[in-house]
Amino acid sequence: MNEVRIGIIGIGNMGSAHAANISKGEIPGLILTAVADRKESRRDWAKKELGEKVAVFLEGKELIESGLCDAVLVATPHYQHPELVISAFHHGLHALCEKPAGVYTKQVREMNEEADKQDKVFAMMFNQRTNPVYKMMKELVEGKTLGEIKRVNWIITDWYRTQAYYDSGDWRATWDGEGGGVLLNQCPHNLDLLQWICGLPKEVQAFCHNGKWHNIEVEDDVTAYFTLENGATGVFITTTGDAPGTNRFEITLEKGKLVCEEDELTLFELVENEREYCFTATEGFKKPEGVYREVELIGENSQHIGVLKAFTNRILTGSPLVADGREGIRGLMLSNAMHLSSWLNRPVTLPIEEDLFLTELNKRRNASVKKDNVKEATFDTKGSYGSKDGK
C-alpha cells in the first residue's frame, strides 16, 4: 500500500478546505476519492470543483459503504462524529475526526471503546498541536525545569464571528443541531491544548452566557475558573463577540513564567525556585531575580496539512500521529464540565457525571428552536483558526 484513498463526510467550511488541500496534492500519498454532504448546494459545488474522479454521495454511510475509501475524514455537524467514526471502523476504514470528538463524553466514550477493538488508525484534527509555540510550551512545562504550575490564565477572546456566520446554517449554534456554542465549535482546540500542556483540571466553575452578543440560543461568552490536580488555579475566558479579541496564554510556574501572545513565546526564568526564595529571603518586598527572553521556536506550523500528513503516514508507515483520536474526549470533558457547571450554577468535578450532563443537554435539545431565517453560505475560513499561520 503506497497511497491512501480518503473520503470526506461533510464539505462545509472545514470539509471543503480539506478537500481543496488534498485535491491540490498537498499531502503526498493521500488521494481524495469521495465526498458526502446532505446539502445539494455542497454536492453541486463538489461536482463542479473536485472533478469527475471524486464520487459524490448524499449520506456519509453511502460513502463508507462504497468501497472507494480506505479512510474517512468526518467533518459533519458534531453530533454525527462518533456515529460516523464507529461506522467507518465497522467497515474496516481508518478515521480522522474533526474537532470536537462529539457533543457529550458518553457518546465519545463509545467511539473510543470501538476504536480500542479495531486496529484501524484513529486520529483527531487537533491541528493546533502542530504549532511550534504550543509544542514548546508543553515541552517546557513537562520538562519540569521550571517547577510546578502555579497559575494558568488563558484569555482567548479572538474567535470573532458575525451574525451572518450564525445565520449560515440551520444546525449552527442550536442545542439540537450543534450542542453548544463557542465551547463546542471554536474552543475545542484551546481546551485540548490546555489539557495537553497543563493536564486536565480537577474542578471547574464556569459562567456561560447564551446569545449575549448574537441572536443564538447557545453560549457565545464564557468565563471559567478551574483548579488543576496540584491545586494551581486558572481562568479560561472566551467569546465570539469581542473585536479585537485577545489570545494571551500565561502559565506561571515555580521557577518562571511563560506568556504566549500572537504566536510568540516569552519566558521569564528565575534564578532560583520562588517557593524556596519566599521562605529564605530576609527582605519583605524584594522579588526573586530572573531574566526575560523570547523563546526560539523550532519546526514548521503545519496545521491541518500536518495532521493530514501524519494521518496518512501512520496508515502507510506506522509513524506517529499529531493527536490520537482517543484523546478527543479530554478537551470535550472539560467543555462538558464548563457547560454543566454553568447550567447547575455550581462547581463541577472531573470526570463529570455523564448521565447528568446528558439529561441537562437533552432538556436544552428538547427546547431548541428550529431556525427560520437561515441564509445558507459557505465562508472562506482562512486566518480564522486562532493561528497566524493557519491554512
Give the residue, chosen from 127, 205, 312, 313, that forms a contact with its own copies under the rule CB under 8 A: 205
119 binds its own copies (CB under 8 A): no
Give phi and psi for 56, each to the nearest 5: -120, 125
| Segment near its own copies (CB under 8 A); pick from 25-33, 294-302, 303-311, 375-383 | 375-383
Bridge-based pairing of strands 203-210 and 348-349 is antiparallel
| Sign of the Cα pseudo-torsion (147, 153, 157, 159, in order) | positive
Q: What cell numbers appear for 213 in the block? A: 452578543
CB of 189 to its own copies, least distance (A): 15
244 binds its own copies (CB under 8 A): yes
Give the residue, chosen from 99, 109, 120, 161, that forms a contact with its own copies under the rule CB under 8 A: 161
Residue span 120-159 as binding mask against its own copies, x where in contact by CB under 8 A, dash where not: ------------------------------xx-x-x-x--
278 binds its own copies (CB under 8 A): yes
235 binds its own copies (CB under 8 A): yes
Give the residue, chosen from 18, 129, 257, 364, that forms a contact with its own copies under the rule CB under 8 A: 257
Give the residue, chosen from 24, 53, 287, 293, that forms a contact with its own copies under the rule CB under 8 A: 287
CB of 162 to its own copies, least distance (A): 4
Q: Which residue has the cell 455523564?
A: 354
Give the residue, chosen from 52, 119, 283, 294, that forms a contact with its own copies under the rule CB under 8 A: 283
Q: What angle do CA 44, 45, 46 make, to 5 degrees?
A: 90
CB of 268 to its own copies, least distance (A): 5
Question: What's the CA gap between 204 and 349, in Å, rounded?
Answer: 6
| Segment near its own copies (CB under 8 A); pick from 27-35, 188-196, 232-240, 353-361 | 232-240
213 binds its own copies (CB under 8 A): yes
Give the residue, chosen from 209, 297, 358, 368, that forms a contact with its own copies under the rule CB under 8 A: 209
Q: What cell numbers appear for 119 in the block? A: 486496529
CB of 224 to its own copies, least distance (A): 9
Q: Which is nearer to its own copies, 83 or 261 (CB)?
A: 261
377 binds its own copies (CB under 8 A): yes
Give the residue, chosen from 86, 90, 110, 277, that forms a contact with its own copies under the rule CB under 8 A: 277
Bridge-based pairing of strands 149-156 and 122-124 is unpaired
Give the residue, chosen from 23, 160, 358, 365, that forms a contact with its own copies under the rule CB under 8 A: 160
168 binds its own copies (CB under 8 A): yes
318 binds its own copies (CB under 8 A): no
281 binds its own copies (CB under 8 A): yes
Q: Is the peptide bond before 351 cis (omega within 30 degrees of 0)?
A: yes
Q: What residue ranges bind its own copies (CB under 8 A)?
A: 150-151, 153, 155, 157, 160-165, 168, 205, 207, 209, 212-214, 221, 223, 225, 231, 233, 235, 237, 239, 241-246, 248, 250, 252, 256-257, 259, 268, 270, 274, 277-279, 281-288, 290, 377, 379-381, 383-384
